[in-house]
């Protein structure tokens, strides 16, 4: 029972669920999406910490939901992530960087992080880097909300589920499914564009094909992606599989996905 002399503000802050929004190494795109939609969350949550958006933050108190953007690419990212995990009931990885490692991971695929750092900031740079990795490589992640940036409707639906103590269902069926539901003409079949919708996780509502462009895989791989079938179709249409793979790698797709495709390419050459 709440004490009778507690002010309305104190009462609310003790009963309403709390959220924290953190950014590790990333472009802050997800933080912006959360900020833009915060008005819809405010009636239901208390924002305990959001350093990107407010100057007064509770850094050392437990929260109900922690949203974390960005990959672990620097030692202080890892320190923060471990602390965030220890204080959060639910941890939601938001955006492709947090879920797959995105361009930080893709960019370092063929080059060591240190050589990239020296090339960019000079040999005397005091910055320390780690190989870029997604959150799940270091801590338990309760919900993975991919996207570059995330879809606002998915963000609100995930938050609503967690506030009701349910882990949400996030689809990782291919973009093609959403594309068909929108009754789009297929740009792969009808325009011979190198659309990666068949191997990319849905969630964006097939945004690019809806406007006549090929999906380039920014949501990360879908559930059980049929890479060999994708490779066969694209090769039949005259596309270089190395180029196609580099697009998917750029958004952090793991190497293991391409093992069989790579073996086939080596066997043919």
Using CB under 6 A as the criterion, which residues of the chain lie in contact with ligand SF4 when the complex forms? 175-176, 179-180, 184, 186-188, 195, 197-198, 200, 204, 206-209, 215-219
- Residue placing its CB nearer to ligand SF4 in the complex, 143 or 196: 196
Residue 24 near residue 78, CB atoms below 8 Å: no
Are the CB atoms for 134 and 93 separated by under 8 Å? yes
Site of tokens 């180029």: 243
Minimum CB separation from ligand SF4 for residue 149, in Å?
Answer: 9
Nearest to ligand SF4 of 93, 188 (CB atom) = 188
Least gap, CB of 247 to ligand SF4 (angstroms): 9
At its nearest, how many Å lie between ligand SF4 and the CB of residue 229? 12
138 vs 180, which CB is nearer to ligand SF4?
180
**Which token pair is 143?**
């919900």
In three-state secondary structure terms, 114 is helix
23 bridge partner residues: 69
- In whole angstroms, how close is the CB of 40 to ligand SF4 at the nearest point? 22
**Residue of minimal CB distance from ligand SF4?**
197
Name the E strands within the chain: 18-23, 46-49, 63-69, 88-94, 143-145
How far lies 93's CA from each of 55, 135, 163, 261, in Å? 23, 7, 16, 29
Considering the complex, state which of residue 47 and residue 199 has its C-beta at the smaller distance from ligand SF4. Answer: 199
Q: Which is nearer to ligand SF4, 114 or 214 (CB)?
A: 214
In whole angstroms, the minimum distance from the beta carbon of 218 to ligand SF4 comes to 3
Residues 6+ apart with CB under 8 A from 44: 16, 17, 159, 163
């Amino acid at each position: 029972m709440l004490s009778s002399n507690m002010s309305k503000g104190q009462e609310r802050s003790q009963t309403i669920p709390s959220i924290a929004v953190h950014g590790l190494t990333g472009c802050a795109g997800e933080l912006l999406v959360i900020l833009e939609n915060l008005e819809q969350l405010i009636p239901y949550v208390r924002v305990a910490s959001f350093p990107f958006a407010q100057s007064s933050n509770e850094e050392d108190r437990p929260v109900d939901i922690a949203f974390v953007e960005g990959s672990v690419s620097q030692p202080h990212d890892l320190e923060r992530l471990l602390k965030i995990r220890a204080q959060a009931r639910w941890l939601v990885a938001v955006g492709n960087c947090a879920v797959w490692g995105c361009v930080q991971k893709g960019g370092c695929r063929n080059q060591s992080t240190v050589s990239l750092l020296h090339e960019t900031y000079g040999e005397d740079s005091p910055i320390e880097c780690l190989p870029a990795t997604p959150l799940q490589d270091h801590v338990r992640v309760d919900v993975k909300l991919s996207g570059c940036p995330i879809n606002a409707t998915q963000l609100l639906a995930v938050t609503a589920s967690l506030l009701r103590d349910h882990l949400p269902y996030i689809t990782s069926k291919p973009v093609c499914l959403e594309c068909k539901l929108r009754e789009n003409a297929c740009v792969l079949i009808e325009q011979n564009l190198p659309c990666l919708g068949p191997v990319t996780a849905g969630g964006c509502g097939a945004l690019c094909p809806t406007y006549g462009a090929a999906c380039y895989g920014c949501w990360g791989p879908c559930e059980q992606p049929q890479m060999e079938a994708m490779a066969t179709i694209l090769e039949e249409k005259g596309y270089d599989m190395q180029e196609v793979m580099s697009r998917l790698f750029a958004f952090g797709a793991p190497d293991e996905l391409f093992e069989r495709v790579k073996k086939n390419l080596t066997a043919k050459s």
